[in-house]
Structure 1
């Protein structure tokens, strides 16, 4: 049996999980997410958050939460989706245009993680829980990574990029500088012109011979 596609078991719009029953209330969904944020901002650790405590803070029953999420891991992944900037829609006009939009979205996420005490705290704690960290990678990071790979693949197919290089390597060349400044050098600048600097510098070395 083939492995499921990444994101297939993820809650929310990225994955394929479908919940049966009555239509979900967006107001109730938001009340539950707000309750988790309130508890985290009060200084409680992820490990201390029980479904019962979240339900009590949100003013709903535990069954209301379980109709929406199978457990805390799914709920926390949806929370991070809600508080992070949304994934962009790539224009598809050229590989340069696609990569500028894509890298700008990564830059905005880097800025959000720097400025949000909540995001900084949650990401630090998540790495202590392998199951939660894996769920976040499957449901959020992997679809985002595929977006960049698809943009590069289209550029190769249109003759905008050399085709003799490994797709993953090319993706790393574009994405790496933003991630390095976000994760390994959190004090490094994430200036508005950074995506353009990266894309134009890397494209200079990746264009096919004779193409400007």
Structure 2
């Protein structure tokens, strides 16, 4: 399939409206992982090479993704830990779930070498990185904002601090452990609870100080 080299890149997700083969998609995703595990960089991946490794025709890929970039964003999205739904409990419960999500994501990144390599290489590919931020990081940040707003509304968090600052302070410790310090301990299943409760001692609003947590 020929593409216009002057056209703006498209990063839409898989196309809809045609019967989809889950087996074919899994074979395509597995092929990308195998190619990267063999040393192929993101920039070196081609639709033809992926199709050959997956045992499918190029048309099978193009029916699902308009280009390689859209395929890679979708693959990375699927490799990520899904953003958690609201717990239905207190704001503190949602804060714990948010930090726990980041802990599990850190563990997944360590165990899935291909994900770690792909995320690292993506930093030097501005278009792909921008698409990843919009589709994956954007919903994650929105989740954090919603949890922080609920914490403020319930009096669990201080209302005199900016929402973005509160989010950074709440997620900063787990991000440091999962991204900056690759050898830090993420195995502790109680880590999210301990982090949130320790942070609330300093960031807590009147409900927390009154023992509402």
TM-score (norm 2): 0.85
Residues 179-203 of structure 1 show CA distances to partners (whole Å, capped at 9, x for unaligned) of 1112222222223222112110121
Give 2:45's aligned residue. Answer: 49
Give 1:119's aligned residue. Answer: 115
RMSD: 1.7
C-alpha separation in 1, matches of 2:16 and 2:105:
33
> 5+ residue gaps in structure 1?
1-8, 13-18
1:22-41 superposed matches below 5 A: 22-41=18-37
TM-score (norm 1): 0.86
Which of 198, 203, 206 does residue 200 from structure 2 map onto? 203
1:177 aligns with 2:152: no
1:133-148 superposed matches below 5 A: 133-148=129-144
Residues 129-188 of structure 1 show CA distances to partners (whole Å, capped at 9, x for unaligned) of 111111111110110111111011112222322222100111111110111112222222
C-alpha separation in 1, matches of 2:12 and 2:141:
16
> 5+ residue gaps in structure 2?
1-10
Which of 4, 13, 18 does residue 11 from structure 1 map onto? 13
C-alpha separation in 2, matches of 1:73 and 1:42:
20
